Amino acid sequence: MAQPLRVAVVGASGYTGLELLRILLRHPRVRLAAVTSEQRAGRSLGECFPSLAGLTELCFTAVDPAALARAADFAFTALPHATSAHVVAKLRKAGLAVADLSADFRLRASAVYEQWYGPHAAPELLGAAVYGLPELHRAALRCADFVAVPGCYPTGALLPIAPFLREGWVSSAPLFIDAKSGVSGAGRTLAEDYLFAELADSCHAYKVGGVHRHVPEIAQEVERLAGAQARVSFVPHLLPIARGIATTVFAQPTREFTDNAARDLLQETYRDEFFVRVLPQGATPRIRSVRGSNFCDVAVVRDAGTGVLILLSALDNLVKGAAGQAVQCMNLMRGFPETEGLLEAPLVP
Which residues are annotated as catalytic? Answer: 152
Phi, psi dihedral angles at 157 (to 5 degrees)? -85, -40
User: Which 185-204 positions form the footprint of a copy of itself (CB under 8 A)?
Assistant: 188, 190-192, 194-204
Contacts of 7 (CB under 8 A, 6+ apart): 24, 30, 31, 32, 33, 72, 73, 74, 75, 76, 330
Rounded to whole angstroms, the Cα distance separating 256 from 132 reads 33
> Is residue 288 involved in binding a copy of itself (CB under 8 A)?
yes
Binding mask 217-246 for a copy of itself (x = CB under 8 A): --x-----------xxxxx-x-xxxxxx-x
Contact 66/89 with Cβ under 8 angstroms? no
Shortest distance (Å) from residue 35 CB to a copy of itself = 14
Closest CA to 221 of 144, 156, 306: 156
- Angle between helix axes 110-117 and 214-226 (nearest 10 degrees) is 160
Q: Which of 64, 114, 178, 340 binds a copy of itself (CB under 8 A)?
A: 178
Exposure b/e, 332-349, CB count within 10 A at least 16 = b: bbbebebebbbeeebeee
Stretch that binds a copy of itself, among 80-88, 106-114, 145-153, 279-287 (CB under 8 A): 279-287
**Binding flag, residue 302, a copy of itself (CB under 8 A):** yes
- Residues from 308 through 337 that contact a copy of itself (CB under 8 A): 308, 310, 312, 314
With binding defined as CB under 8 A, does residue 349 bind a copy of itself? yes
Considering the complex, what minimum distance in angstroms separates the CB of residue 319 from a copy of itself? 10
Question: Is 95 a residue that touches a copy of itself (CB under 8 A)?
Answer: no
Strands (E), 45-163: 60-61, 74-77, 97-100, 130-131, 146-148
Q: Contact 77/103 with Cβ under 8 angstroms?
A: no
Q: How far is CA 190 from the centre of its chain?
A: 22
Total chain residues near a copy of itself (CB under 8 A)? 95
Query: Using the rule CB under 8 A, which residue among 37, 102, 184, 269 binds a copy of itself?
Result: 184
The sign of the torsion formed by the CA atoms of 68, 73, 78, 84 equals: positive
Q: Closest CB to a copy of itself among 143 and 200?
A: 200
Site for a copy of itself in 13-52 (CB under 8 A): 15, 18, 21-22, 25-26, 47, 49-52
DSSP state of 184: G
Q: Could you give the CA distance from residue 147 to residue 140 in angstroms, rounded to a whole number?
A: 10
Task: Identify the residue among 166, 267, 301, 334 touching a copy of itself (CB under 8 A).
Answer: 301
By the rule CB under 8 A, 55 interacts with a copy of itself: yes
> Nearer to a copy of itself by C-beta: 91 or 309?
309
Q: Which of 128, 250, 254, 267 binds a copy of itself (CB under 8 A)?
A: 250
Report the residue number, 26 or 90, with the smaller CB distance to a copy of itself: 26
Whole-number minimum distance, CB 182 to a copy of itself, in Å? 8
Length of the chain: 349
Shortest spacing between CB 328 and a copy of itself, in angstroms: 14
